[in-house]
A and B are shown apart, each in its own frame.
Chain A
Amino acid sequence: MEFNREFILGCSAIGAGLAVIAGIGPGVGQGIAAGHAAAAVGRNPGAKSAITSTMLLGQAVAETTGLYGLLIAFLLLFLKPLLWGVN
């Protein structure tokens, strides 16, 4: 079956849109981390700097999965791997 360039580009755009749905997970996770960090600072204001750095470290690690989705979206949009076999 033959597909033309425009069809594949459109499907790549849809795929890129679907790939960044991965951003939901890190969003929820980082929100939970920030909420618990806020509660921890409320309970023990003296440890604020240690809590903040731990929170940022954990959030940055949790962010990775979302970034993988973003990377796939970028690959689909800019590198267009699906077009490699076509003309």
Chain B
Amino acid sequence: MHVMLLAAESSVDVMAHGVLKYSFFGHEAWITTTHVSLLFVMLILIVFSIFAGQAIKKGAEVPGAFQNVVELIVEKLDGMAEGTMGKNAAKYRNYIGTIFIFILFSNISGLLGLRPPTADYGVTFPLGVITFTLVRINQFKYHKPKEIWTDMCSPLPPWCPIWFPINVISELAVPISLSLRLFANILSGTIMMALVYGLLKWFATIWPAALHVYFDLFSGAIQTYVFCMLTMTYVNNAIGGEE
């Protein structure tokens, strides 16, 4: 029994390794595989962005193949932002497009043999916190403090703040649920693939490609879409409707 457990532990590789140990103000800290794959994702995106910027800067009247692809991506992302946020989209489509491309590349980097950076809670939680910060900033920018107070006591009148703590908790749950959703989806995909490759050994040839299509491509794309959609919806709600 004990031997079996140990064997399973050693052959299933979830790919979360420390690569380099260093001392951070006296604390022992690690550069892990997450950092390395994050670096790769960033490099790919930066190189792509530089080439895309060059292509658009000297854009031809009749676009070439690469310029066409870049324009298509930008158009699709802008269309997504405008479809959800309406006329508020102009300010936020840069941010939404950026996190869309970043999360999408992070999620499908499992196909390149990297550990998806989004399978680390340290990557997804900051993204959730950014959304939370955007929501708060917009709430204070577009509403008077009295309106916010009324909203926070919402089902009851503002002089009776019994629901206030519950509303605060539900607001604080937003970044946590946003980041945990993305994190748990990608992590479960990663662990599932690690189990398939680790436990089935030689039997896991060729056919796991179908699982990769589901766990990496489909699940990753859906979660990216959901994260961006929810971010836009929350920010739009915070701005409030003068439709």
A residues contacting B by CB (< 8 A) are 6, 9, 53, 56-57, 60-61, 63-64, 67-68, 70-71, 74, 78
Q: Which residue of A lies closest to B227 (CB)?
A: A60
Range class of the B interface residue count:
10 to 19
User: How far is it, in angstroms, between the C-alpha of A6 and the C-alpha of B191 when the chains are bound?
Assistant: 23
Closest to B188 in A: A70
Residues of B within 8 A of A68 (CB): 180, 184
New A-B contacts (5) at CB < 8 Å, excluding given A56-B225, A57-B230, A71-B180:
A57-B225, A57-B226, A61-B181, A64-B177, A67-B184
Whether B222 is near chain A, meaning CB under 8 Å from some CB there, is yes
Contacts of B2 in A (CB 8 A): 6
CB atoms of A60 and B1 under 8 A apart: no
Contact between chains at A74 and B191 (CB < 8 Å)? yes
Instruction: Determine whether B129 belongs to the interface, using a CB cutoff of 8 Å to chain A.
Output: no
Which residues of the other chain, B, contact A60 by a CB distance below 8 angstroms? Answer: 181, 222-223, 226
| Closest partner residue, chain A, to B14 (CB atom) | A78
**Could you say which residues of chain A place their CB within 8 Å of the CB of B150?**
none
Interface check B138, CB cutoff 8 A: no
Decide if the interface of chain B is mainly helix, strand, loop or mixed: helix
- Residues in chain B within 8 A of chain A (CB atoms): 1-2, 5, 14, 177, 180-181, 184-185, 187-188, 191, 222-223, 225-226, 229-230
Q: Majority SS of interface residues in chain A?
A: helix
In the complex, A61→B225 CA distance in Å? 12
Structural contact, A67 and B181, CB atoms closer than 8 A: yes
Interface pairs A-B: 6 shortest CB-CB: A67-B184, A60-B226, A64-B181, A71-B184, A70-B188, A57-B229
* CA A68 to CA B229, docked complex, whole Å: 21
CB distance from B167 to the nearest CB of A (A): 19
Q: In the assembly, what is the distance between CA of A64 and CA of B177, in Å?
A: 8
CB distance from A24 to the nearest CB of B (A): 16
Listed A/B pairs (29) with beta-carbon separation below 8 Å: A6-B1, A6-B2, A9-B5, A53-B225, A56-B225, A56-B226, A57-B229, A57-B230, A60-B181, A60-B222, A60-B223, A60-B226, A61-B226, A63-B185, A64-B180, A64-B181, A64-B184, A67-B180, A67-B184, A67-B185, A67-B188, A68-B180, A68-B184, A70-B184, A70-B188, A71-B180, A71-B187, A74-B188, A78-B191
A67 and B191 CA atoms in complex are apart in Å by 13
Contact of A56 with B222 at beta-carbon distance under 8 Å, contacts A9-B5, A67-B181, A68-B180 already known: yes
Would you give the shortest CB distance from B116 to chain A, in whole angstroms?
15
Q: Separation in Å of the A21 CB from the closest CB of chain B?
A: 16
